[in-house]
Amino acid sequence: MKFFIDTANLKDIKEANDLGILDGVTTNPSLMAKEGITGADNILAHYVKICELVDGDVSAEVIATDFEGMVAEGEMLAALHPQIVVKLPMIKDGVKACKYFSNKGIRTNVTLVFSAGQALLAAKAGATYVSPFIGRLDDISTDGMALIEEIRLIYDNYGYETQILAASVRNVMHIINCAKIGSDVITGPLSAIEGLLKHPLTDIGLATFLADFKKGNS
């Protein structure tokens, strides 16, 4: 399973990358705004900085919501850096734009996916990645993980190559359950990824080992 970090924060991206387990980065306009990155030129420059920091795919989201606008913006984003994946919203023109980019060999990530039907459309349109938002479904008392299971089943039934990129991942259990189901990718904040490290018995065991070593060598 690939690990992407869902942030525009360069420090967090570097920290996850330094751990040696990072496969890519996802961003969105809200995450850019959170880091105070505003204005088209600054946002584009920030995407390039992220690409230079990591080896994997970096999703860059279009702002346009009409087909022509998405095509123009997506082509410009894709030309920025070979690691850029054009992120498109799951709306009618987004599906059309996804098919357009797929025909041109430009990689896409269809975002804001909340149903199996939407994921099926994204696969039909040749999306490289589909991003179902688990956490936001959980927020409205719907089972986000059940959606990942449904999409896995549907994609496997037909051999769709679109990768399931479980997004809006918020915690360790989201990651573990995605791994059990066979999500291709998860994207979440550094806290969720680093949460995988933690177990109290590891800390207690290490403290004991170090204390015993000291006793034997004092």
Residue 81: count other Cβ atoms within 10 Å of its Cβ.
Answer: 15
32 binds ligand G3P (CB under 6 A): no
| Binding status of residue 78 toward ligand G3P by CB under 6 A | no
Active-site hit among 14, 49, 87, 198: 87
Rank residues 36 and 159 by Cβ distance to ligand G3P and give the closer one.
36
Residue 28 in the binding site for ligand G3P (CB under 6 A): yes
Residue 135 is a binding residue for ligand G3P (CB under 6 A):
yes
- Cβ–Cβ under 8 Å, residues 51 and 75: no
3-state secondary structure of 159: coil
Beta bridge partners of 86: 60, 108
In contact, 86 and 62? CB cutoff 8 Å? yes
Establish if 168 lies at the interface with ligand G3P (CB under 6 A).
Answer: yes
The C-alpha atoms of residue 167 and residue 190 are separated, in whole angstroms, by 13
- At residue 196, φ and ψ (nearest 5 deg) are -65, -25
The minimum distance between CB 166 and ligand G3P, in angstroms, equals 9
Cβ proximity to ligand G3P, 120 vs 185, nearer residue: 185
Active site residue 124: no
Catalytic residue positions, numbered = 87
Q: What is the binding site for ligand G3P (CB under 6 A)?
A: 6, 26, 28, 31, 133, 135-136, 167-168, 170, 187
